[in-house]
Amino acid sequence: MGSKENGIDSGIQNPKDEKKEESQLVEEKEQKFKLISFLFTERSNACITSSILLIILWGVIWSYTGHEILPGGRLFGTLAIFLCAIIGGEIVKLIKIPMVPPLPPLLGMLLAGFALRNLPGINQHINVIPVVSACLRNTALTIILVRAGLGLDPEALKKLKGVCLRLSMGPCFSEACATAIISRFTLHFPWHWGFLLGFVLGAVSPAVVVPSMLMLQDKGFGIKKGIPTLLVAASSFDDILAITGFNAFLNITFSTGPVYQTLLKGLFEAIISVIIGVTMGLFCRYFPSKDQKARHWQRAGLILGLSILAVIGSNRLGFHGSGGLTAIMLTATSGSKWSKEKAKVENIVAKAWEIFQPLLFGLVGAEVSVQNLESDIIGTCVATLSMALLVRIMVTFFLVSFTDFSIKEKIFVALSWIPKATVQSHPSPVARQKSRQLVMAQSTAVLGPLALETTRSLNTPHLEAYAKTVMTMAFLGILITAPNGALLIGLLGPSILSKEEIVNDSSA
C-alpha cells in the first residue's frame, strides 16, 4: 500500500506546487506586460501622439490656407523646415559617442535646414516667405534673450563687469580690423569694404551661444565663476557693436555723409535700451500683485510680450539692434526680485523655447545656399575667414587672461566666442533715402546679403563683385562656425568647466 500510495503521490502534483507555478507564470506575464507597457508609454505613445498632433496641425492650416500648405506652397516650406529640424535634433540626441558628452540638438536642426535648402529635387518645393521667416526668427531669438535675462546672475555679473565689457567689444573690433587687413591682400578689397566685411564676420551669434550656455548653466557647469552669465551678457553688446560698425561702413561705402551720426546713434540706442529695459523690469517686479492667481503665468506673459514688442517694435521704429539689449535688461531686472517664483516663470519660457528652437535653427540653416557661393573664390574666402577667426580667438584669450579663470576655462571662453549666424539689421538710412524700391522691399535680413541688396538697389554694378564676395563670406561664416561652435561648446563645456550641484526647490 505504501508503494502504491507513493506511486500515486508521484503521479499527482501537489496543489501547493501548482499554485507556485501559477503564481510564477502570473508574475512573468505581469513583468512582460509592464515592460511592454513601459516601452509603449515612453516611446511609441509619445511618437504616435506627436505625429497625430502634427497631422492635425497640418490639417488645420490647410483648412485656412488651401494650396499654400501643399508642396511648393509658401507655408509648406516653413512647416517642412520645422518638422525636419525636430527630427534632426532628435537624431543628434540618439548619437552616443563613448567618453564624449551628448552633442547639442541644435547641430542637427542647423544641418536639417541646410539640407532642405540645398538637396536637389527637394529645395524647389521649399519656398519660405522672407517676412514670415524673419518674424519667426526674431520671435525665437527674443525667447532665448528672455531666457538669457532670467538666467543672468547679478552677483556674478558684478564681479565680471570689467571682463564683460572687454569681451563684448575687443573680439568684434579686433576681428573686423584683422579681416580688413587680410582681405586687402587676399581679396584685394578697398579699406571701407574690408571693414564692412569685418563687422559682418565680427558679430557673435546669440542664437548659438545663448542656448548652449543656458544648457551648461542648467546642468551646473561654470556657474561658480559665472562663465555662462559672462558670455550671455556680452553677446548682446557684441551684436550692437557689429551692427553699428556695419551701418557706419555701409554709409561710408555708398555716401559721403558724416559717419559720426551713425556712431552716435548706436551709442544713443544702447543707452535708451538700458533705460527702457530697466524701467519695464521694475514694473514687472511688482505687477501682477501677490494676491493674483497663477501669477507666474501672468509674469511669463508680461515679459514675453514686452520683450517681443521691444525687439520687433524697435526694428519697426528704426532702432535696429537695441531691442535685444532691452529684452535682456527687462528680464534681468524683473527676475532678480522674483525669488522662488522665478523658477516657474523660467519653466514656462523654456516650454515656449522648445517650440521655437527648431524653427530658429532650421531657418538659420536654410539661409545657407550652396548656389550662392562663388566657387572660384571659396578657397581664398575660407583662408581669410580662418585667419580672422584665429585673431579673434587669440584676442579673446588675451582679454580673459586678467581673470581668475583657469587656462582651460580661458580656452573654453575663446572657442565659445566663434559662432556666427543670426545678426539682423535693416537697410541703412542712406540706402533707404536713395532708393524707394529698397524701402518697399525692406525686410529683416542677414548682414551679408544686405550689402548686395543695397548695391543692386542703388544701381552701382561696379561694386557688385565686392558685395557678392561679402555675401559668400557671410554664408561660409555661418556654415563653418555655427555648427562647429555649437559642437565645441557642447563637447568642451562638460569636460572643462567645474560643476556645481543645483538644488531645485519644488515648493517654488
On the 0-12 / 13-18 / 19+ scale of CB atoms within 10 A, 199 is buried
pLDDT at 427: 40
Per-residue pLDDT for 428 more than 50?
Answer: no
Q: Who contacts 250 (Cβ-Cβ below 8 Å, separation ≥6)?
A: 196, 428, 430, 431, 450, 451, 454
Tens of pLDDT along 379-425? 888 999 999 999 999 999 998 888 888 898 999 999 988 887 644 44
> Of 410, 411, 423, 413, whose CA–CA distance to 477 is shortest?
423
Distance of CA 131 to the CA centre of its chain: 19
Question: What domains can be seen in the chain, in order of their start residue?
Answer: 130-359+371-496 (1.20.1530.20)
> Ramachandran region of residue 428, left (φ > 0), alpha (ψ -120 to 50) or beta?
beta
Per-residue pLDDT for 469 more than 80?
Answer: yes
| End-to-end Cα spacing for the chain | 78
Is residue 455 very low, low, confident or very high in pLDDT (cuts 50, 70, 90)? confident
d(CA 274, CA 218): 26
Is residue 454 very low, low, confident or very high in pLDDT (cuts 50, 70, 90)? low
Per-residue pLDDT for 1 more than 60?
Answer: no
Cα dist from 361 to 136, 141, 339, 368, whole Å: 11, 10, 32, 12
CA angle 211, 214, 215 (to 5 degrees): 85
Tens of pLDDT along 304-357? 999 999 888 887 776 766 787 788 889 888 888 887 778 889 899 988 988 888
Q: Cis (ω within 30 of 0) for the bond into 288?
A: yes
pLDDT at 390: 94
pLDDT at 502: 56
Is residue 38 very low, low, confident or very high in pLDDT (cuts 50, 70, 90)? low
Per-residue pLDDT for 22 more than 70?
Answer: no
On the 0-12 / 13-18 / 19+ scale of CB atoms within 10 A, 19 is exposed
Per-residue pLDDT for 220 more than 50?
Answer: yes
Beta strand residue intervals within 327-372, DSSP E: none
pLDDT at 177: 94
Per-residue pLDDT for 484 more than 70?
Answer: yes
Per-residue pLDDT for 37 more than 70?
Answer: no
pLDDT averaged over every residue in the chain: 77
Tens of pLDDT along 247-271? 678 767 776 556 677 667 767 877 8
Per-residue pLDDT for 126 more than 50?
Answer: yes
d(CA 208, CA 148): 12
Listed range (34-38, 426-430, 455-459, 488-492) with the worst mean pLDDT: 426-430
Average pLDDT over residues 43-68: 80
Average pLDDT over residues 426-430: 41
pLDDT at 304: 93
> Looking at the DSSP assignment, which residues form a beta bridge with residue 424?
446
Helix, strand or coil for residue 499?
strand
On the 0-12 / 13-18 / 19+ scale of CB atoms within 10 A, 478 is buried
Per-residue pLDDT for 206 more than 60?
Answer: yes
Per-residue pLDDT for 133 more than 60?
Answer: yes
Joined together, the cell numbers standing for residue 212 give 548652449
pLDDT at 303: 93
**Percent of the chain predicted with pLDDT > 70:** 75
Cα dist from 219 to 216, 475, 503, 504, 507, whole Å: 5, 32, 11, 12, 20
Q: Is the full-model pTM beyond 0.85?
A: no
What amino acid is encoded at 65 in this protein? T
Q: Which residue has the cell 562638460?
A: 494
Q: Which is more confidently placed, 272 or 462?
A: 272
Average pLDDT over residues 126-139: 79
pLDDT at 433: 42
> Of 147, 203, 187, whose CA–CA distance to 485 is shortest?
203
Tens of pLDDT along 352-368? 988 888 888 888 778 77
Average pLDDT over residues 416-443: 46
Average pLDDT over residues 207-231: 83
Tens of pLDDT along 93-120? 888 766 555 666 877 888 898 888 888 8
pLDDT at 490: 82
Element (H, E) at 424: strand 424-425
pLDDT at 445: 32
Cα dist from 84 to 46, 254, 361, 475, whole Å: 17, 40, 11, 21
Joined together, the cell numbers standing for residue 374 give 562663388
